[in-house]
Amino acid sequence: MTKKVQKTVGKQSQAAKWPAASPVATVKTAPAAGTKHISTPIGSSEFAEICLCPGDPLRAKFIADNFLTDCKLIQHVRNMYAYTGFYKGVRVSVMGTGMGIASSQIYFNELIKFYGVKTLIRVGTCGTMCAPEKTKLGDVVLAMGAGTDSSLNRMRFGGWDYPATASYELLRICDNIARDPKMGIAKQLKDSNNKCMVGNIFSADSFYGPKDHIQVPLLKKFNVIGIEMEASCLYSLANENNVDALGINTISDEIHMNGYDPVTETYADPANKFWYKDMPPEQRQSKLRTMVTLALETVVEWNKNKDKWASSN
């Protein structure tokens, strides 16, 4: 907090020079305020009911610049950009949420509770423990459910484990679009030797986890195909508030266990337990475009029947 300091002129403060209040005070209406994190006036219609939520605010800008028409910047506090525009005639917003549950849950909460957002689709990246047997760089993962090592869901759910799952109709529509040869997404994935799959993911609370050497083998054993840092929080908040949510992730990193023996649960080289394969920078833009197109085409199809499918009904 910044202290208010009175400027002085000589020995006399400026406060002493102010004129006395007039008998009839003029009341000025303050401009409508936003939250501490979003400057858009609370209750305004600046946000659309459907919002794409990348973690990176610059990815929000990229989506707005390259996919939306009649687009308007509606928030930039903390450089967490938000835009509203149109995709194929459907009004849609896109806003960055930051990295991890601690940051993203602030924005998910405020979008739902103060700005009337009823459908949130996370578009992000994830790692995988299941390469090369089941997954590879560039594959798209539709998160059916999301486990977590965060305590946030338990705190809100009375200390019990909450089954954090996507909205079924939203997931179904997205999966159908990804498989429909007429939509073009399936061809884009096939041409790049990739696929779209539905499965469970894991939202880690720490990027550099102290127990990764235990956690990663368990995730693979339980067929968790992706690891990221936001979806579990998004799903629990959406279900709690009767809105709809889906997480769409492009696999950007492969996590390989270096000489792990599942019988003895030991590594051949304890000092180098993992090796990683990252998506080359030149592939990121094209492969992320496929994911964003899939999300926006889902928005168009969802919008046709949202009054019938939406959880808020």
Q: Is residue 7 part of a domain?
A: no
Residue 144 belongs to domain with CATH number: 3.40.50.1580
Q: What is the mean pLDDT of residues 48-71?
A: 97
Q: Which residues contact 69 (CB under 8 A, 6 or more apart)?
A: 85, 86, 87
pLDDT of 12 > 60? The answer is no
Q: What is the mean pLDDT of residues 187-215?
A: 94
Q: In whole angstroms, how far apart are CA 33 and each of 39, 114, 148? A: 7, 11, 34
pTM confidence score:
0.88
Q: Is residue 298 part of a domain?
A: yes
Q: Is residue 1 part of a domain?
A: no
Strands 140-148 and 244-257: antiparallel
Residue 269: burial class (beta carbons within 10 Å; 0-12, 13-18, 19+) = exposed
pLDDT of 6 > 90? The answer is no
Q: Is residue 287 part of a domain?
A: yes
Q: Is residue 162 part of a domain?
A: yes
Q: Is residue 74 part of a domain?
A: no
Task: Verify whether residue 253 is a known catalytic residue.
Answer: yes
Rounded-to-integer distance, Cα 289 and Cα 88, Å: 16
Do residues 172 and 180 lie in contact, with contact meaning Cβ atoms separated by under 8 Å?
A: no
Tokens read off for 55: 């973690």
pLDDT at 312: 64
Q: Is residue 10 part of a domain?
A: no
Which range of residues forms the domain containing residue 285?
123-309
Tokens read off for 139: 């594959």
pLDDT in tens, 134-150: 999 999 999 999 999 99
| Beta strands, E only, the chain | 8-9, 12-13, 50-53, 69-75, 82-87, 90-95, 119-128, 140-148, 196-203, 226-228, 244-257, 260-261, 266-267, 274-278
pLDDT of 200 > 60? The answer is yes
Tokens 């486990």 label which residue? 147
Rounded-to-integer distance, Cα 43 and Cα 59, Å: 26
Which candidate in 149, 205, 253, 261 is catalytic? 253
Do residues 234 and 166 lie in contact, with contact meaning Cβ atoms separated by under 8 Å?
A: no
Q: Which residue has the higher pLDDT, 15 or 238?
A: 238
pLDDT at 31: 52
> Three-state secondary structure along 211-258?
CHHHHHHHHHHCCCCEEECCHHHHHHHHHHCCCEEEEEEEEEEEEEEC
* Number of domains composing the chain: 1
Q: What is the mean pLDDT of residues 264-289?
A: 89
Q: Is residue 270 part of a domain?
A: yes
Tokens read off for 79: 């450089």
